[in-house]
Structure 1
Amino acid sequence: INYAALAKEAEITAPTAKQWLKVLAAAGLVYLLEPFMHPNLKYGVKAPKVYFTDTGLAAYLLRWSNAEILEAGAMSSSFLETWAVMEIYKSFSNCGQIPPLGYYRDFNSREVELVLNVDGSIHPLAIRKSSSPVKETKKFDILRLVAEGERALKLGAGGVICFANDLLPIDARNWYIPAGLL
């Protein structure tokens, strides 16, 4: 979230924009995904990411009248990411668990869209609008530093949520995960 940019677009002050987002989050209309932080990961962005909890409402507000328009649009990848994050969020919430979700982005714009921190292990997930994205797991390497030192976490299995037809291995640790399985 860039509160200053958001405030400028809405012609309000940055503190007002921040308060309005808090109200939207409290009402359950948006979800603020906090960054994954670890002492070994330096130069990480500390601002949360905002996701609409209801992609149907978001499409309606943007006046996209059907799925074909959305799929062909420039924001279709963002909508897929929003949908995937919210499906995983709801899976944890519906089981009565606090979703152990975060994301990691550094100042060089290297990003892991979703980091699950479960029982001392982190599981990186990329989200791509493709059936077989190539080299997506390379960016998981930026998380290898969390497995070192005193406060080490285990780097568990990860995956790329995409439009693959089946759950397929990418390598020994990572999988192509069909979006339909979410």
Structure 2
Amino acid sequence: AASYTGSMVNYAALAKEAEITAPTAKQWLKVLVAAGLVYLLEPFMHPNLKYAVKAPKVYFTDTGLAAYLLRWSNAEILEAGAMSASFLETWAVMEIYKSFSNCGQVPPLGYYRDFNSREVELVLNIDGKVHPLAIRKSSNPAKETKKFDMLQPVTEGERALQLGEGGVICFATDLLPIDAKNWYIPAGML
């Protein structure tokens, strides 16, 4: 399960790797969730978003445990490895999750992915406003906020929501504006 952190749940693939059935894999993942070792991020749904993927994403609540289980022996090897972006995403999502959870709030988190594999890694739905966040392992990711236009349909119709400020969590050194509604957010600020 640690190898799937930061990706959509695929019970069949998980079952194949563990040499068990898919229903058994689903039950064991429920045990990990109940134990607080894993968090399932549900997809952001709205009636105007027609082509949304409905599978949750799985995140290990402790990136150190996930790294240990995957036998990443130190931070330098992990940072240069194939899963470094997934671990950054896992860490960022869990930091935001904990900031809500520690205040006694149910975290208003989700993600949006369409069938063309375009994704907004984190969607915060707070007081009728949708705040999109991208997470990138870069210091100046270009054009990331263009994906936020996928959420524009939620602003139309009778169940309309406002599209609020968003941002790109990255390795920028300072909080910097991208445009009128979006920011580069240094990962260290989380």
The TM-score, its normalising length taken from structure 2, stands at 0.95
Aligned ranges for residues 122-137 of structure 1 at < 5 Å?
A: 122-137=130-145
Partner of 1:30: 38
Q: Per-residue CA shift, 1:67-121, capped at 9, x if unaligned?
A: 1101110110000000000000000000000000000001100100000000010
Partner of 2:5: none
Aligned: 1:69 with 2:92: no
Partner of 2:4: none
Aligned: 1:104 with 2:88: no
- Deviant stretches of 4+, over 4 Å: none
Letter paired with 1:126: A
CA distance in 2, matches of 1:8, 1:62: 17
Partner of 1:93: 101
SS in 1 for 2:29: helix
Aligned: 1:2 with 2:7: no
Q: Per-residue CA shift, 1:117-176, capped at 9, x if unaligned?
A: 000101000000000000000000000000000100000000000000000000000000
C-alpha displacement of 1:5: 1.3
Letter paired with 1:152: A
C-alpha displacement of 1:4: 1.1
Over the aligned positions, Cα root-mean-square deviation in angstroms equals: 0.5
The TM-score, its normalising length taken from structure 1, stands at 0.99
CA distance in 2, matches of 1:175, 1:27: 35
The answer for unaligned runs of 5 or more in structure 2 is 1-8
Letter paired with 1:144: Q
CA distance in 1, matches of 2:45, 2:143: 24
C-alpha displacement of 1:180: 0.1
Aligned ranges for residues 1-182 of structure 1 at < 5 Å?
A: 1-182=9-190
Letter paired with 2:35: A
SS in 2 for 1:160: strand
C-alpha displacement of 1:6: 1.1
C-alpha displacement of 1:2: 1.2
What is the aligned residue count? 182
CA distance in 2, matches of 1:20, 1:3: 10
